Amino acid sequence: MINIVLPVDFGDRSEQLVDAAVKFAKQVNGKIFLIHVAPSDIGFAIGDMGFQYFPEVEENEIKEELVQLNKIEQRIIAHDIDCEHLLKQGIAKDIILEYSKSKNADFIVMGSHGRSGIYDVFVGSLTKGLTKSSSIPVLVIPIHD
């Protein structure tokens, strides 16, 4: 069986990415390891009193993201694809690479929005970072209009 790590961000094009990953998994008899990496700074806000931490905001956000992750997992399973999921907080690239190694991944399937140039300078590209750092092949799925 081929192990496929599928990072998701719950963006507008996540469904398109999941559909492509399911199609790929069917073609290669794969199992999908779904992962979502939440930022470490959920629950922090800056205001008149400087940085403040609101644990209830972080807890609610994590619960909502876990619900979304469970829905995606069930959608994948409905296509007769084995799937398990993980939600972690931290630096996405590092966590995805660590998770991929721990699951003996054969592929990491990522989406590309087709942005470049100034966008990458200010926001960065997780897909670009993974393709540069990963010893595991990264399959890039175009998920733009």
The residue segments making up the domain with residue 106 are 2-39+65-141
Instruction: Please give the C-alpha separations between residue 17 and each of 12, 109, 111, in angstroms, as whole numbers.
Output: 10, 8, 6
Q: What is the mean pLDDT of the chain?
A: 84
Look up residue 73 and give its two tokens. Answer: 């997992």
pLDDT at 121: 41
Would 99 be classed as within a structural domain?
A: yes
- What percentage of the chain exceeds 90 in pLDDT? 54
- The tens digit of pLDDT for each residue in 64-78 reads 989 999 999 999 999
Of 120, 115, 127, 101, nearest to 7 by C-alpha is 127
Q: How confident is the model at residue 119 (pLDDT cuts 50, 70, 90)?
A: very low
Contact between 69 and 36 under an 8 Å Cβ cutoff? The reply is: yes
Residue 137 falls within a domain, yes or no? yes
Residue 115: the pLDDT is: 55
Specify the pLDDT at position 45: 58
Cα(first)–Cα(last) distance of the chain, in Å? 32
Check whether 53 has a pLDDT greater than 50.
yes
Alpha helices in 29-91 (DSSP H): 55-77
Q: Is residue 101 part of a domain?
A: yes
Q: Is residue 58 part of a domain?
A: no
| Tally of structural domains, the chain | 1
pTM: 0.83
Helix (H, G, I), strand (E, B) or coil at 40: coil
* Residue 11's CATH number: 3.40.50.620
Q: Would you say residue 74 lies in a domain?
A: yes
Q: What is the dihedral of CA 129, 132, 137, 143, to 10 degrees?
A: 40
